[in-house]
Structure 1
Amino acid sequence: MKKFSLLATIFATVGLFSSAVAQAEIKPVTLKFAHIYAAQDHWGQTAERFKAAVEERSGGKIKINIDANGLTGDWPQSIEGLRMGTNHIVLQSVGALDRYAKSAGVEAYPYLIRDMDHYRAVYNGTVGQELYDQITKESGFKLMGAAYRGARYLTSNRLIQNPDDLHGLKMRVPPLRMYRSTWTTLGASPVPMGMAELFTSLQHGMIDGQENPLEVIKNVNLFEVQKNVAETQHTIGAMTLIYSDAYFKKLPEETRQILQEEGERVMKEATDRMIVEEENMKQFLIGKGMAFNAVDREAFGTKIQAMDAEFPELQVWLDKIRAVQ
């Protein structure tokens, strides 16, 4: 037993020595990390976990300063900051890059990701890496890791169970082509507008519904102006860490390795946490008087297939993702 204890001590000492040597070889660098989320919410905490992991593993040689709450601007401005060098890391959805890379738009495609098993198989597999490589090629941005951002749900003051129930429903959508096409195809009357106008527009009856992840529905108190939550789960998307590819390539190999490995690990953990939080948020909203109802997802998914013709530039990715088992 003493012999094994001695060997264990030796291996532990060697491991600590190797770690110390690796940290000593890392060149000091300070990275600016920007996101639009509150520091205490899910994505704010994900950023903090990434910062802590990188700084600990690098022995403090890699420092990360976080600007939360959109301090450097909204998410488009934050991403532009990567190009200008005022930001080094941004936490945002994959689809946020669709203005730079058409392929990125596939992240927001409705009824494409079937469930969480399919999500993991896509984003943690070869197809996900191929998609990331293509986005980098088109946009000049490097994507790192994937975290389930929470499915998007439809809320309204009428019961929605199948696409026919959407007829005449005026609903707010983000001012992006993908969302407009989604709800036009399904039979609703989408009204593009920013988040700042959403609550008051619902409050005064200018629109009848909207769609968002449960996190947003909870955080902006939509339970005060909406009663029904249709479990459409029409988009199962991914958040990612975004860098300027040119800047990232200039970083030392040891630094790139730490950022890559810790980024992927932290984002996978964020997926697991979001699954738990999503159920907690559902129960919170029920407690606030919102009623959740199941929908005929097969009917929604069948009707949305007509949208493929509007996005021929995405067809190769639609086919690849749908084929993942």
Structure 2
Amino acid sequence: MINYEHKTGCSSFRALSIVAAFALALTQMGCDSAIRSDGMLRLRMGHVYEVNSPTHTFGAGQLNAQLVDADCEMELRVYPASQLGSESELLEQLVAGEIDLAIAGPSFLAMWHPPVGVFDAAYAFKDLEHMLRIADGPVMQPHWEELRRRFGIRVLGTWAYGVRHITGNRPVRHPDDLQGFRLRMPASSVWQATGRALGASPMPIAFSEVYMALQQGIADGQENPVPVIQAKGFQEVQSYLSRTGHVQSSVLVLINERVWQRLSEPQQTALRQSVAGLGDKVLSGIRHQEAELLQRWKRDAEIQIVEDVEVAAFEERSRQFFREGFPFSDLYLQIANER
């Protein structure tokens, strides 16, 4: 089955401060992870998403072709589907210079720089377009710079991952409907907080075990973008899809800063433009898949679609929940107020 989700807790992030320090030391030694052959610069990228996921199909899988078309003497080999390790392991490799680029979810980078966790906080953003504007705009630039300065990781761009909705065996229209509701959420602290913000009792169940947990009634429901729900077959063991739209989910395209500095200006331009252009294709691909699946589910009654969700009640509860006590609370209110 397709595994779209950000994988959490695979390695200890406490060790990453040591890795980061080691990587910064390598900077002084001139460590070079990029390989030159016949005048062509060859780079390596790793990510955890399957080859038929939107992240790869519309994005990472097309990146090398874009660079070849740009005629910038640069090639990229992409290793999808956790071929080089889990998401946390890929970030360790990226910091250490063992790979050149990676794709990761915000909750992982939040382990290093906590304000980034705002991207996985409920109702921070109005929609995917709003999320992408904030990610690429002046609000987040100081935070991306902090990651670059402290850990040698440059954010090349942000891609949409999808709008997350709740499935369950009863409809969810109001936060009160989630009282005592065992909602499976990713294990990171930000995601668990988002579950509580919605009014649920979040459960950190491994993504590979969610289907069985739903089937056996261990969890009452789960939340994910529509294409992920379809890919994992969750609609087979859930009766309702409640369109809460609580997180405008994203992934970040990252490059090792030392590798970036070794690129020529035309190569940097080609890479930036390719990542930005493919981000547009990822967004449109996700939108198309979601619309197509929702239409099919309504037609074939595979799962009942709950449209009359009181989103304003969820938004207000989440805003009160995140307004203080979190390392991203000020940033959360700043972004939410722009809505």
Normalising by the smaller structure, the TM-score range is 0.7 to 0.9
For 1:242, the aligned partner's letter is L
1:308 and 2:319 matched: no
Q: What does residue 12 of structure 1 align with?
A: none
CA separation in 1, counterparts of 2:337 and 2:151? 25
Which structure features the higher share of helix residues?
1
Q: Secondary structure at the match of 1:175?
A: coil
1:240 and 2:252 matched: yes
Shift of 1:235: 0.4
Q: What does residue 17 of structure 1 align with?
A: none
| Structure 1: stretches of 5+ with no match in the other structure | 1-25
CA separation in 2, counterparts of 1:220 and 1:114? 26
Q: What does residue 34 of structure 1 align with?
A: 46
Shift of 1:205: 1.0
Cα 1:120–1:44 change in 2 (3 A) is closer
Cα 1:139–1:282 change in 2 (3 A) is farther
For 2:243, the aligned partner's letter is E
Q: What does residue 304 of structure 2 align with?
A: 291
Partners of 1:154 and 1:211 within 8 A in 2 = yes
Cα 1:99–1:117 change in 2 (3 A) is closer
Q: Secondary structure at the match of 2:218?
A: coil
Q: What does residue 332 of structure 2 align with?
A: 318
Shift of 1:246: 3.0
Q: Secondary structure at the match of 1:36?
A: coil
- Residue correspondence of structure 1 range 130-279 to structure 2 within 5 A: 130-279=142-291
Q: Secondary structure at the match of 1:71?
A: coil
Partners of 2:157 and 2:254 within 8 A in 1 = no
CA separation in 2, counterparts of 1:92 and 1:62? 22
Partners of 2:120 and 2:194 within 8 A in 1 = no
Shift of 1:323: 4.0
Shift of 1:312: 3.6
Q: What does residue 83 of structure 2 align with?
A: 71
CA separation in 1, counterparts of 2:39 and 2:45? 18
Shift of 1:116: 4.1
Aligned residue among 76, 79, 101 for 1:89: 101
Partners of 1:33 and 1:65 within 8 A in 2 = yes
1:52 and 2:59 matched: no
Output the aligned Cα RMSD: 2.1
Please tell me whether Structure 1 or Structure 2 has the larger radius of gyration of its CA atoms: 1
Q: Secondary structure at the match of 1:103?
A: helix
**How many residues in Structure 1 have an aligned counterpart in Structure 2?**
299
Q: What does residue 117 of structure 2 align with?
A: 105
Fraction of identical pairs, as percent: 22
| Structure 2: stretches of 5+ with no match in the other structure | 1-37
For 1:186, the aligned partner's letter is L
Shift of 1:231: 0.5
Shift of 1:120: 4.2
User: For residues 59-93 of structure 1, what are the alpha-carbon distances to aligned partners after superposition, in whole Å with 9 as ceiling and x for unaligned?
Assistant: 5x211111111111121112212123232111232
Cα 1:246–1:284 change in 2 (3 A) is farther
Shift of 1:218: 0.9
CA separation in 2, counterparts of 1:288 and 1:39? 29
Q: Please, which moves more after superposition, 129-138 or 196-205?
A: 129-138
Q: Please, which moves more after superposition, 118-127 or 67-76?
A: 118-127
Shift of 1:237: 2.5
For 1:122, the aligned partner's letter is I
Shift of 1:299: 0.2
Q: Secondary structure at the match of 2:255?
A: strand
For 1:55, the aligned partner's letter is V
Shift of 1:51: 1.4
